[in-house]
A and B are shown apart, each in its own frame.
Chain A
Amino acid sequence: DAKTTQPPSMDCAEGRAANLPCNHSTISGNEYVYWYRQIHSQGPQYIIHGLKNNETNEMASLIITEDRKSSTLILPHATLRDTAVYYCIVSDPNDYKLSFGAGTTVTVRA
Chain B
Amino acid sequence: AQKVTQAQTEISVVEKEDVTLDCVYETRDTTYYLFWYKQPPSGELVFLIRRNSFDEQNEISGRYSWNFQKSTSSFNFTITASQVVDSAVYFCALSESSGSARQLTFGSGTQLTVLP
Asked if A and B bind, the verdict is: no
Chain A interface (Cβ < 8 Å from any Cβ of B): none
